[in-house]
Chains A and B, each alone.
Chain A
């Protein structure tokens, strides 16, 4: 029998500290749906998704009831659609509309995989898909898109970086009457993981099995509360140790839910992504963990060091708790989705430059950052290039999800509602990067030895 205190600890985590399973994501391969006729291809996709995922939402709900743990999202990720466009040709938006219809009919809240992998160059279908992203995101509700433009092994495809600057801007422009939300559903990756269950960057990599269940756990609130109980003079190695233990418990719960979901659905269990994913809810913030460690406000000096320790400790605890850890796994720092970061950004304590430094030590990149509407596409491309360079050189995943607030500037805010949250427009440098971006070409892959 588990002891009384352990039981009370679990109950408090769920009831007061927002512990939840953030997402159960079913990865579905669409490679066998490819057809030279786009209409037939779409029909096969719709049939496969609705057949494989028909019980996903009800299974998620059944597990919630059985275990008493909230499972916030049920989602689907699919094979990068550019691969299907390669076979069929035609307007890629048709695929987006099909995915959207399938997502609506099975009841999931996001479907990811309107994606292209172009880190080394473009193949058939890639350019068409990338150019259609803004329209696809404007015309659909549930579809999320991602493009991988660089990797440690391949370098950075600067032609794709240039394209993505305009694509991000256009995605925002086409949805300017709806808080520019198009850009919030588009991620530009370097070293994109193929098994990530979190949106907007989820897609089902070509190396994955036919169907798989991936689980994303969360729990910034739990970590913060655990740290609040430590004495203020506890050394940082003890802080790291406590984060590790807490991450272990959170991940164990994810492992239980993932195994159960995979058993009930008859689908192999893929990975647990043990990311600390914040929500705008009070008490569910990664910034507040950093502040609990001892910073007056997230974004001040010391933030990078605290985040590096947090990210590493979360991984160490999680790896011990599950044999199949994958995805992004670490701490997320999406500005508009984190109450503490929103606050720090409003006060000007948290700047884009500091966020960029933070991305070098945490699991994602510049995430959910609202930038001025007048930002040029070349500046957005330059932001993407900077971030991709950090990922490429440090052999880690980085990403950019910035939202140009069309028609808005300094002092204004965007409000997406729900999990995407809200946030102020953050300042960028006005100087141009146009000439560098116009060069295009490729940044060669970095040395993997002589590292200093």
Chain B
């Protein structure tokens, strides 16, 4: 099982470090990271392995939000993207 973490906001030092620390603390393995600048905003998409996650997905989202409070963060199950964008 995988989940997709998206982080959007103004670029600053240490975003990736903070986000991956929270993932590590909750036993989520980072499988893939893509980042780019969209319309001047920093956008990072991170795919994480959540089979052995030690907390609930919404708790992970809450901890991520707390670690980088200025950024907009979403944590969503990969099933959503697979069902919406794949036939």
Q: Are B81 and A10 in contact, with the CB atoms below 8 A? A: yes
Q: How far is the CB of B79 from chain A (nearest CB, A)?
A: 6
Residues of A contacting B74 with CB < 8 Å? 11, 14-15, 68
Interface size on A, residues (CB 8 A): 21
Q: Are A6 and B85 in contact, with the CB atoms below 8 A? A: yes
Q: Are A6 and B84 in contact, with the CB atoms below 8 A? A: yes
Q: Does A445 contact B (CB under 8 A)?
A: no
Greatest chain B CB density within 10 A among A6, A7, A65 is at A7
Q: Are B80 and A10 in contact, with the CB atoms below 8 A? A: yes
Q: Are B83 and A7 in contact, with the CB atoms below 8 A? A: no
Interface size on B, residues (CB 8 A): 28
B84 touches which one: A4, A10, A65, A68 (CB < 8 A)? A10
Q: How far is the CB of B44 from chain A (nearest CB, A)?
A: 10
> Which of B9-17, B19-27, B55-63 lies on the face that meets chain A?
B55-63
- Name B72's closest neighbour in chain A (CB-CB): A15
Q: How far is the CB of B57 from chain A (nearest CB, A)?
A: 6
Q: Does A253 contact B (CB under 8 A)?
A: yes
Residues B28-61 near A (CB distance < 8 A): 32, 34, 36, 38, 43, 45, 47, 56-58, 61
User: Could you tell me the dominant secondary structure of chain A's interface residues?
Assistant: helix
Residues A1-52 near B (CB distance < 8 A): 1-4, 6-8, 10-11, 14-15
Number of A-B residue pairs at CB separation under 8 A: 66
Q: Are B34 and A4 in contact, with the CB atoms below 8 A? A: yes
Q: Are B56 and A2 in contact, with the CB atoms below 8 A? A: no
Residues of A contacting B77 with CB < 8 Å? 66-68
Residues of A contacting B32 with CB < 8 Å? 1
Q: How far is the CB of B28 from chain A (nearest CB, A)?
A: 15
Residues of B contacting A377 with CB < 8 Å? none
Given A1-B47, A6-B81, the answer on whether A65 and B57 have CB atoms closer than 8 Å is: yes
Q: Are B81 and A2 in contact, with the CB atoms below 8 A? A: yes
B57 touches which one: A1, A6, A68, A252 (CB < 8 A)? A68
Q: Does A255 contact B (CB under 8 A)?
A: yes
Q: Are B85 and A253 in contact, with the CB atoms below 8 A? A: no
Residues A47-66 near B (CB distance < 8 A): 65-66
Q: How far is the CB of A8 from chain B (nearest CB, A)?
A: 7
A1 to B75 Cα, complex, angstroms:
16
Q: How far is the CB of A144 from chain B (nearest CB, A)?
A: 31
Given A1-B32, A7-B4, A7-B45, the answer on whether A65 and B85 have CB atoms closer than 8 Å is: no
Q: Are B72 and A10 in contact, with the CB atoms below 8 A? A: no
A249 to B87 Cα, complex, angstroms:
10
Greatest chain A CB density within 10 A among B6, B57, B85 is at B85
- Name A14's closest neighbour in chain B (CB-CB): B74
**A-B CB contact pairs (8 Å), 17 listed:** A1-B32, A2-B86, A6-B81, A6-B85, A7-B81, A8-B6, A10-B85, A11-B6, A14-B74, A65-B56, A67-B77, A68-B75, A68-B77, A69-B76, A249-B84, A253-B80, A256-B79
